[in-house]
Each structure stands twice: as structure tokens, then as C-alpha cells.
Amino acid sequence: MRWGLIPSWAKESSIGLKTINAMAETAAEKPAFRDAMKLRRCLIPADGFYEWKRLGPKEKQPYNFGMADDSPFAFAGLWERWPDHDDHTIETCTILTTKPNWLIVDVHDRMPVMLRAEDYDLWLDPGITDPKRVAHCLRAFEAALMKKYPVSARVNRSENDNPDCAREIPVAATPLSLF
């Protein structure tokens, strides 16, 4: 699937650049996500994700977040089919986000919705077309089951697609100022 949900009614595929994430709190009402919330929910498997912490006006430190036991997990996702102008069908997806848990809040003001394994079947159930019936799944994952650590800024470049991107790096302590 292509990243960035393109609603079936979209005139141009460029809308997908603005729909790589969907706010869980409003996805059921937003036109771009409303139909997918009813009919096209999916799991997006992962073993971690990155967020960047702003350290200064031009400086950011990326962090890797994942399960404390290194197990894989799944994000709550939505998907769509979009007919392009050449009569091809493009399948696209997005990840739902929510307010962060205590592990993430000092790095970012949102986090992806990581579904609990016991919610997978409910989230995927095609018989559930009322988003209110799955809304309780769209909450911050339990921070105590997760870990975070700093990684190299290499993660910010697609040409660096290798395991070194997820390797923990030492980070210098931020000096405290008394004034």
C-alpha cells in the first residue's frame, strides 16, 4: 500500500501528502477518513516507530519507540482504493494517532494508536460499521509496556534503510542553567 490515504472521491493523489496520519478523535467525522473508519480498518504491523524531540530552534533528537520486550505490534490503520486518471487503482493507507502516553509526551504531542492484541479482531471486524463501537480501541498504549531510546539522525533519510537506524546511541546530557 502507498502511504497517505487518498479518499475515493479525491480529484488528485496529492491529498495523500496531507493524510499520512489521521487524528483518532475526529477521523469518524472528517470526510477524508469517514468511510474508511466505517468500512476499511486495517492493522499496520511494526516493531517500532520514530519521533523527534525538539532541542532547540534547529536541533532535534530522534527517538525509537517500541515494545519493552521487542515484540512486534500493530498500529490502527485505515485504507482506501483510489482510481487514478489512467484507470489504475491505487491502494493507500494512514495511521490513526492519539494523545501521547507518559513515555512519549516529552518528545511529541501525539502518538500512533498501537492496538492491543486483544482488540485486533474487533478492529478488523467488517460487520462493525459504527465507529463508536471501536472508539475505545483508539487510546494511548500502556507506557509501562513500551521503551524508548535515542537513535541517530540517519533515520531521517530514506537511503539509510538498514538496522543501524534503530540502534541506540548515547546522547550528551543537556547542561542545566541556573539563570
Q: How confident is the model at residue 156, as a pLDDT?
A: 79
Cell of 79: 485504507
pLDDT for 162 equals: 85
H-run or E-run covering 111: strand 111-112
Q: Distance (Å, rounded) from C-alpha 179 to C-alpha 174?
A: 15
pLDDT, tens digit, for every residue of 94-123?
999 999 999 999 999 999 999 999 999 999
Which pLDDT value is given to residue 128?
A: 97
Architecture (CATH level 2) of domain 2-153: Alpha-Beta Complex (3.90)
Give Cβ neighbours of residue 30 (< 8 Å, ≥ 6 apart): 22, 23
Question: At a CB cut-off of 8 Å and minimum separation 6, what does 165 contact?
Answer: 151, 152, 154, 155
| Mean pLDDT in order along the chain per 10 residues (179 residues) | 93 92 97 97 97 92 97 98 88 98 97 98 97 97 97 86 86 57
- Farthest CA pair distance, the chain: 64
At 159 the pLDDT is 87
Q: What is the pLDDT of residue 172?
A: 65
- Type of residue at 94: T
Task: State residue 161's pLDDT score.
Answer: 84
pLDDT, position 72? 98
Torsion angles phi and psi, residue 119, rounded to 5: -100, -5
